[in-house]
Amino acid sequence: MPQPPYILAIDQGTTSTRCILFDSTATPVATAQREFAQHYPQGGWVEHDPEDIWHDTVSVLRQAVASAGIDIADIAAIGITNQRETVVVWDRATGRPIHNAIVWQDRRTADVCAQLKVDGAEELVSAKTGLLLDPYFSATKLAWILDNVSGARESAARGDIAFGTIDCFLLSRLTRGKVHATDPTNAGRTLLFDIVRQEWDDELLRLFDIPASILPSVEDNAHIFGHSDPDILGRAIPIAGMAGDQQAALFGQCCFRTGMTKSTYGTGCFLLMNVGEKPVRSNNRMLTTPAYRLKGKTTYALEGSIFVAGAGVKWLRDGLKIITRASETHDMATRVPNSHGVYMVPAFVGLGAPYWNPGARGLICGLTLDSTDAHLARAALESVAYQTKDLIDAMVADAGPSASALRVDGGMAVNDWLCQFLADILDAPVERPSIVETTAMGAAFLAGLATGVWEDLASIERIWHRDRRFDPVMEQDERTRLVEGWRSAVRRTLLPA
């Protein structure tokens, strides 16, 4: 009897590169991971060496296959998910980057974006891309490389160099330069892609002074982009699925119906809501983004981000030193019956959606002489739930009612107390999957769809299993009182100094 097919998922993140081998039930069989160096040439600048990322990718692919002890012939496909917005430009002939990758966190083009806003360009950009003018996105970073690397614009004019986000760069390397392509979820984060027409936009290219000759083609998320070089793993394997990390997590959580929502809790939080086949223009400065495109049909999402989620717990550990491990916050939160009126607004780097106030700074209020470290720990966890409610309320105002449950993943989702408090504050069930590797799993699902491992979305939905469901138990009066207290604390945070 033949072995069931396996899928390799490359999860290329901001600080590490992982590979997870999944079987046909989407169960992880083997995992390999390597961290890589971060480079900070100046204040606010963040770079990666693409060669580090490439060598680590090959290494973790080989490690995962070797540790699983499977026959290479039983691998059906490779899927890729990646840190979004990070920019790489490379020589087409050699594959060598002409500059370090400029990372999504990099702020070197903040002044350029500010000037474009003054010039009135944000409405055009937002209408076509669903995004805001911010150095977070790729276009101004790409223009910086073209303007600051000697000979880059001349090379672009000759067609000698290529641009891509990390997915695109890895695809090119895996196919030994034969394929230059990306997918709508990554293209849609560049400020250069019209998400309605699903094509690179000439007006935006002129605005950012980007030559079309360096851009990749844009293919469906589940698509056989090409085949890996046989020298990498011993045979050519279809590279059949690609998506940016947050959209991959949405797909991995099987949020296939309009209104279904997932929230990933790490250092910060990314919350995406499936809004269906028509993009929804936000009135609350949410982002509109392609969620996935299958067989030429695009599904869209609204996206909101929380700057500080797990980072608030990290501050308790490294800044205040009231805990030694993040996991301690669970027991501390249950040690006290309530927050005792203490609120933490973790605006350490400003407030994101829906407030969008970069000048806001963190605030702890409601302290009394009998406030304890447990109350602070509880307030830090509660702030994650309150911020999530702010995002969901804004999305519901934009797009209408959300689905009946929020699906959660990421490191903080293992905290049962937090998941229950989320359910109570949202007045909606919170579902945690049995397999929490949802980002890599989304890439695997896409690759499996393209290669016949799974027939359709329904067959994938049957694989998704819930570990636990948290139902709200809080009384409405209590919920209203707590949320009003949070919003009062936020208003104080936003007051001018």
Q: Do 232 and 279 fall into the same domain? A: no
State the Cα–Cα distance between residues 372 and 384, nearest whole angstrom.
19
State the Cα–Cα distance between residues 100 and 102, nearest whole angstrom.
6
Tokens of 291: 């969620």
Residue 337: is the preceding peptide bond cis (ω within 30°)? no
| pLDDT class of 269 with cuts at 50, 70, 90 | confident
Q: Which pLDDT belongs to residue 268?
A: 80
| pLDDT class of 21 with cuts at 50, 70, 90 | very high
Give the chain's mean pLDDT: 91
Q: Is the pLDDT of residue 345 over 60?
A: yes
Largest separation between any pair of C-alpha atoms in the chain: 71
Mean pLDDT score, 65-88: 93
Q: Which pLDDT belongs to residue 1?
A: 43
Contact present, 8 and 237 (Cβ < 8 Å): yes
Does 311 reside within a domain?
Answer: yes
Tokens of 377: 């720990």
Q: Do 190 and 298 fall into the same domain? A: no
For the range 477-485, what are the long-range contacts, defined as Cβ-Cβ under 8 Å and sequence gap of 24 or more? 479/424, 479/425, 479/427, 482/382, 482/386, 482/425, 483/386, 483/389, 483/425, 485/341, 485/343, 485/366
In the DSSP assignment, the letter for residue 74 is G
State the Cα–Cα distance between residues 361 and 72, nearest whole angstrom.
52
Q: Do 223 and 308 fall into the same domain? A: no
Q: Do 84 and 202 fall into the same domain? A: yes
Q: Do 186 and 236 fall into the same domain? A: yes
State the Cα–Cα distance between residues 350 and 493, nearest whole angstrom.
10
Q: Do 227 and 265 fall into the same domain? A: no
State the Cα–Cα distance between residues 228 and 313, nearest whole angstrom.
41
Pairing mode of beta strands 75-82, 238-244: parallel
Q: Do 263 and 240 fall into the same domain? A: no
Q: Is the pLDDT of residue 329 over 90?
A: no
Does 400 reside within a domain?
Answer: yes
**Candidate from 293-307, 324-338, 421-435 with smallest mean pLDDT:** 324-338
Q: Do 282 and 415 fall into the same domain? A: yes
Does 453 reside within a domain?
Answer: no
Q: Which pLDDT belongs to residue 253?
A: 95
Q: Is the pLDDT of residue 404 over 50?
A: yes
| 86-145 residue pLDDT tens | 999 999 999 999 999 998 888 888 889 889 999 999 999 999 999 988 888 999 999 999
Mean pLDDT score, 434-446: 92
Q: Do 258 and 232 fall into the same domain? A: no
Does 441 reside within a domain?
Answer: no
Contact present, 413 and 419 (Cβ < 8 Å): yes
Could you tell me the CATH number of the domain that includes residue 390? 3.30.420.40
Pairing mode of beta strands 222-227, 16-22: unpaired
Mean pLDDT score, 238-263: 95
**What residues contact 291, with CB distance under 8 A and at least 6 apart?**
185, 247, 250, 251, 255, 272, 274, 298, 299, 300, 301
Contact present, 193 and 129 (Cβ < 8 Å): yes
Q: Is the pLDDT of residue 2 over 60?
A: no
Of the three residues 199, 216, 245, the one that is the final residue of a domain is 245
**Candidate from 153-157, 183-187, 253-257, 281-285 with smallest mean pLDDT:** 281-285
Q: Is the pLDDT of residue 497 over 60?
A: no
Does 335 reside within a domain?
Answer: yes
Beta bridge partners of 262: 272, 407
Of the three residues 228, 245, 262, the one that is the final residue of a domain is 245
Which uninterrupted H or E stretch holds 470? strand 466-470
Q: Is the pLDDT of residue 66 over 70?
A: yes
Does 454 reside within a domain?
Answer: no
Name the strands in the sheet holding 238-244, side by side, starting at the edge strand that comes first in the sequence. 28-35, 16-22, 6-12, 75-82, 238-244, 222-227
For the range 196-200, what are the long-range contacts, defined as Cβ-Cβ under 8 Å and sequence gap of 24 or more? 196/128, 196/279, 198/290, 198/293, 198/298
**Candidate from 62-76, 109-123, 328-342 with smallest mean pLDDT:** 328-342
Q: Which pLDDT belongs to residue 43?
A: 83
% the chain with pLDDT above 90: 70
Helix (H, G, I), strand (E, B) or coil at 42: coil
Q: Do 348 and 480 fall into the same domain? A: yes
Phi, psi of 41 (to 5 degrees): -65, -35
Report CA 123 to chain centroid distance, whole Å: 24
Of the three residues 223, 245, 267, the one that is the final residue of a domain is 245
Q: Is the pLDDT of residue 487 over 80?
A: yes
Q: Do 384 and 480 fall into the same domain? A: yes
Q: Which of 157-171, 365-379, 399-413 has the highest mean pLDDT?
A: 157-171
Q: Which pLDDT belongs to residue 369?
A: 92
Q: Is the pLDDT of residue 78 over 90?
A: yes
Does 440 reside within a domain?
Answer: no
Q: Is the pLDDT of residue 184 over 80?
A: yes
Question: Which pTM was predicted?
Answer: 0.90
Contact present, 454 and 460 (Cβ < 8 Å): yes
| 347-403 residue pLDDT tens | 887 787 788 777 788 899 999 999 898 899 999 999 999 999 999 998 888 887 776
Q: Is the pLDDT of residue 68 over 60?
A: yes
Interhelix angle 110-118/139-148, rounded to 10 degrees, is 120
Q: Which pLDDT belongs to residue 4?
A: 65
Which uninterrupted H or E stretch holds 310? helix 310-315
Q: 195 lies in which domain range?
A: 6-245
Does 239 reside within a domain?
Answer: yes
Q: Which pLDDT belongs to residue 496?
A: 63
Q: Do 10 and 154 fall into the same domain? A: yes
Q: Which pLDDT belongs to residue 202?
A: 96
Considering its fold, how many domains does the chain have in total?
A: 2
